[in-house]
Amino acid sequence: MSPKTLIEVNDLNFSYGTRAILKGIDMSMSRGQVIAIMGGSGSGKTTLLRLISGTLRPTSGHVRFAGEVVHELDRDALFSLRRKMGMLFQFGALFTDLSVFDNVAFQMREHTALPESMIRDLVLMKLHAVGLRGAQHLMPAELSGGMARRVALARSIALDPMLIMYDEPFTGLDPISLTVIGNLIRRLTDVLGMTSIVVTHDVQESLKIVDYVYFIADGVIAAEGTPQQVRDSVAPFVHQFVHGEEDGPVPFHYPAPTYQQDLDLDPKGMPVV
Amino acid sequence: MFKRIVSGIRSIGHRVIESIWRLGLASRFFMLVLLKSGTSFRRFGLVVRELYYSGVLSLIIIVVSGLFVGMVLGLQGYETLQKYGSESAVGTLVALSLVRELGPVVAALLFASRAGSAITAEIGLMKATEQLEAMALMAVDPIARIVAPRFWAGVISMPLLAAIFSVMGIYGGHLVTVIFIGVDEGSYWSQMQSAVDFRFDILNGFIKSCFFGVAVTAIAVFEGYNAPPTAEGVSGATTRTVVTSSLVILGLDFILTAFMFRGVS
């Protein structure tokens, strides 16, 4: 593992019971990069994030984060590893009983012995970075979807992590918020020297900001490359996904008996008497 | 026919195994809550905050219900006792009924409906909106930070609420029998004072309410934490909290009463 590599995924397999979700995934993610993981709904993208964060244990294979095999760590070591990670959930997952300020201050108060005056300054800096310093007194219920995600982003960079994972950060946002979140991901990664993993379906927005893309389909890496390679790709799956085509390697129809069989029609389309 | 019988037996077996499995899960969860309670005591402010939500906010329903239960007890007690010319013992009847039984039991039932359901719904919704997972990913244990403070707040508030319920009931009985009906005030209080024993009545009532507090809040936090993360999941868990707590309170009450008052005249 080269010193530039932050995360290495080796022959990773994961199943829920007998249902295989991920089958032999290999990945390597360098420090300072924004990496996109794309794939259809239910392709195992979020499961991959949970395996990286140690919320799930792989069936076989391993994830190595900063040199440590995640699933082999005991609870205390895993918790100290997680202090180096941040996660942005699809809808923010802000603590609804705490104000914006207290949400961002949460980790600082839990994990550090910093005086309250310093916490205040740090929280305001984090909120300023996402443009919401003025919203510090609001409660999560008073925020729009885009604002909630920006607050969650400020919260996830509270302790300056080495890695931030974004689970569908663009879902349900208006075009302005979409650009804001996309640019924030890129800018914060560059300024703070972090690594970002963005799990998304949003091809066009993410191709603007990422350094490398992995496509997952049916639990395997179907394709990978830089944004330019992805745009130029003629591989059927990548082409279908990037251009949003209705039918292709990912079929429009869920597997079923033929239409004629289901409607009791003969091969000519006439009802069977 | 044979197939239906077999499938019937199988479904009963399945339910029994499911219940035992769930009981095991609940016991394991309960032990985890106890083991991870250190944070609650080191940062007692977390418990105090929850004391407000489960204890203080339950006060109105406890005070009003206690008052009315005491008034009804006074009225019914007076009607019966006056037939035997012993209406002066109405204070004793009201106090013993409340301190031994109705105080702990009714207060616990009200607590389960008011605070238990709120705890389940809150934790269940935190789970459904990924707040608990977010917390775990921030290296903060949700059982220590969210569940344990709510559990201890419930355990502390339950005996206090039961005591307040009993006191309000005694005043309710006083209002009806002494002030409205005209039973002698001196005998209302003095007979009560001589008949109510600190060890057998008050202490046992207190112990009962402690048991109920542990049972109700343990059920509430367990159901919330294990609620399926959907709207139906959370609503089902909230209902289960109230139903299971109520049954457990009544069952426990019988067992505790059998142990406490066996052979006591």
Q: Return the pLDDT at B168.
A: 96
Mean pLDDT, contiguous 10-residue spans, chain A (273 residues)? 82 88 90 89 85 91 90 88 88 91 94 92 92 92 90 90 90 83 89 90 85 88 87 78 73 78 81 73
Within 10 Å of residue B158's Cβ, how many Cβ atoms?
29
Q: Which residue type is seen at A98? A: L
pLDDT of residue B225: 96
Q: CA A237, CA A138: separation in Å to the nearest integer? A: 44
Torsion sign, CA atoms B52, B58, B64, B66: negative
Structure confidence at residue B125 (pLDDT): 95
Q: Is B153:B53 a contact under the CB 8 Å cutoff?
A: yes
- A·B CB contacts under 8 A: 48
Chain B, nearest residue to A55 by Cα: B137
pLDDT at B264 over 60: no
Cα A245 vs. chain centroid, distance in angstroms? Answer: 23
Q: What is the pLDDT of residue A120?
A: 95
Q: Which CATH superfamily is domain A5-233 in?
A: P-loop containing nucleotide triphosphate hydrolases (3.40.50.300)
A104 residue type, one letter: V
User: What is the Cα–Cα distance from A238 to A242, expressed in whole angstroms?
Assistant: 6
| Average pLDDT value for chain B | 93
Chain B residues inside the 8 Å CB shell of A55: 133, 136-137
What is the distance between the alpha carbons of residues B218 and A69, in angstroms, rounded to a whole number? 36
Per the CB < 8 A criterion, the answer to whether B98 and B169 are in contact is: yes
The position carrying tokens 């009924």 is B97
Q: Given this model, what pLDDT does residue A14 score?
A: 92
Across the interface, whether the CB atoms of A53 and B131 are under 8 A apart is answered no
- Chain B residues touching A107 at Cβ < 8 A: 138-140
Q: What is the DSSP letter of B43?
A: T
Under 8 Å between Cβ of A216 and A14: no
* Helix residue ranges per DSSP H, chain A: 45-53, 75-82, 100-111, 116-129, 145-156, 175-192, 203-209, 227-232, 236-243, 259-262
pLDDT of residue B91: 92
Name chain B contacts of A151, Cβ cutoff 8 Å: none
Contact across the interface for A110 and B137, Cβ inside 8 Å: no
**Partners of residue A161 in chain B, C-beta under 8 Å:** none
- Please write the tens of the pLDDT for every residue from B13-34: 999 999 999 999 999 999 999 9
pLDDT at B263: 63
Using the beta-carbon criterion (under 8 Å), do B139 and A80 form an inter-chain contact? yes
Per-residue model confidence as pLDDT tens digits over B30-89: 999 999 998 888 889 999 999 999 999 999 999 999 999 999 999 999 999 999 988 889
What is the least distance, in Å, from the CA of B139 to any CA of chain A?
5
Map tokens 């530039």 to a residue: A4
Angle at Cα B234 formed by Cα B238 and Cα B50, nearest 5°? 60
